[in-house]
Amino acid sequence: MPILTFKGGVHPPQKKHFTKDKPFEKLPLPDFVYLFTTNHLGAPAKPLVKEGDQVKTGQLVAEATSTISANIHSSVTGEVIGIESFINASTGRKDNAIVIKRTSEDIWEYIEHDENFKKFSKEELINIVKKAGIVGLGGAMFPSHVKLNIPANKKVEYLIINGAECEPYITVDDMIMKTYTEEIIKGIKIIEYIVNPEKIYVGIEENKPEAIKAMKNSLKNENIEVAILKTKYPQGAEKQLIKAITKREVPSGGLPIDAGALVFNISTTYAIYDAVINGKPLVERGITLSGGVKKPGNYWFRIGTKVSDLLNQVGLVEEEKIDRIIYGGPMMGLPLPSIDLPTFKGNNAITVLTKEEIPQKHEYPCIRCASCVKACPMGLQPYYLKKLADARKNDIAQENGIMDCIECGACSYICPSNIELVKTFKTTKKVIKAIQKRRV
């Protein structure tokens, strides 16, 4: 099979050498966890506990409140201290978080599970995923049980497991594929049993030769194909992944299922395995801690741990050398206003960017070179959308596809005038959505 790719994209420095060969380490259990009730896309979960309640690891502490919502479970064994508000970088606002003080080592509360997953019906498996509170762990945090519940008028032709991991610095999915190969395959088979696809692919960028080899060796006797992808950003974006592998395009405003595809991230696939086979709700996950830290690596941590606690485990470089600290990677990551904030389910990395790596750049006027047009993976005209957004011509910006922008930052990265195009698009999209909401 040839190396696959999509039109557009950029080639930022990969910076994966810091951690790509670092095996997983388990971080010590935190003394406190802070569990956002908005640990997913959609409606906040409803707290089921109150101050003074004793909880076990894996115990349900907040339940989904609507179709697009997800359960929250305690990630430690301890006592509920109360509910506090914190800035949630994933939503950009202050959200409630259940605060739990750890009082002992883990005493687990498991959900229904079985090594023989085929003893369950498809509906029962979807319910297990729902009970476990599993969401998209590549960053989107869309509830996985909703994605698995395919509409009656739709058919999954392609199941794609996303191992591209194109964001610089991040290596957590790469390490999962190399370390937990058989578990990933079992997770794929569980998803296959539920959605009955015609074809299954595991998409991996060519810069992960060991993961490609591990997956290929374990899939020799399986009807699952490893699709080798060109190392290019944003190859791991859902629409670009689908285009590269299937040559199909997700329609504007549509979902992958509208193109006959269903995409699951490697970490999400592992979480589905862990829930169905081992009965573990989503309370821990893998994370890459990299950049300006003294002990970069891949780690398992408990969801709800404060960022400061994670960074204390790996050590920061001198404060005066740090430019910014972000949830995720440098292209699509969210800058932290403070490290005294909780982690959430979608945290696949904490990246510390130094001033040496992020030199201060002066912004110049657009020279209409069209570099952003060539780089845009969605085929948009970023320079023109910026002009429309600045003039607040939001209706015309919509007509020209601004809502199709995936906010990957390729346009900002490639711009020779250092114009932060994607920041403008994010703001404009929020304004458009707010206006649409008011009209409803």
CA–CA distance, 342 with 309 (Å, rounded to integer):
9
Known binding residue 408? Answer is yes
Nearest 5°: phi and psi at 79?
-120, 135
Residue with tokens 């990395």: 349
CA distance linking residue 295 with residue 293, whole number of Å? 6
The answer on whether 376 is annotated among ligand-binding residues is yes
Describe the crossing of helices 266-278 and 122-131 by its angle, rounded to 10 degrees.
100
Q: Is 405 annotated as a binding residue?
A: yes
Measured CA to CA, the distance from residue 6 to residue 10 in angstroms comes to 11
Distance CA 19, CA 247 (A): 32
411 is in an annotated binding site: yes
Alpha-carbon gap, residue 214 to 172, rounded angstroms: 15
Pair of tokens at residue 192: 């296959």
Pick the closest to residue 125 from 72, 193, 69 (CA basis). Answer: 193
- At 262, list the tokens: 């269903």
8 A C-beta contact, residue 305 and residue 96: no
d(CA 93, CA 64): 20
Cis peptide preceding 234, ω within 30 of 0? yes
CA distance 256 to 72: 26
Q: How far is 78 from 51, CA to CA, in rounded Å? A: 11
| Alpha-carbon radius of gyration of the chain | 21
Could you tell me if 78 and 103 are in contact, meaning their C-beta atoms sit under 8 angstroms apart? yes
The Cβ of residue 112 has, within 10 Å, a number of other Cβ atoms equal to: 13
Instruction: With residue 127 as reference, give the H or E element that holds it.
Output: helix 122-131
Please answer whether residues 16 and 384 qualify as being in contact, where contact means their C-beta atoms are separated by less than 8 angstroms. no
- On whether 372 is known to bind a ligand per the annotation, the reply is yes
- Known binding-site residue numbers for [4Fe-4S] cluster: 366, 369, 372, 376, 405, 408, 411, 415
- Known binding-site residue numbers: 366, 369, 372, 376, 405, 408, 411, 415
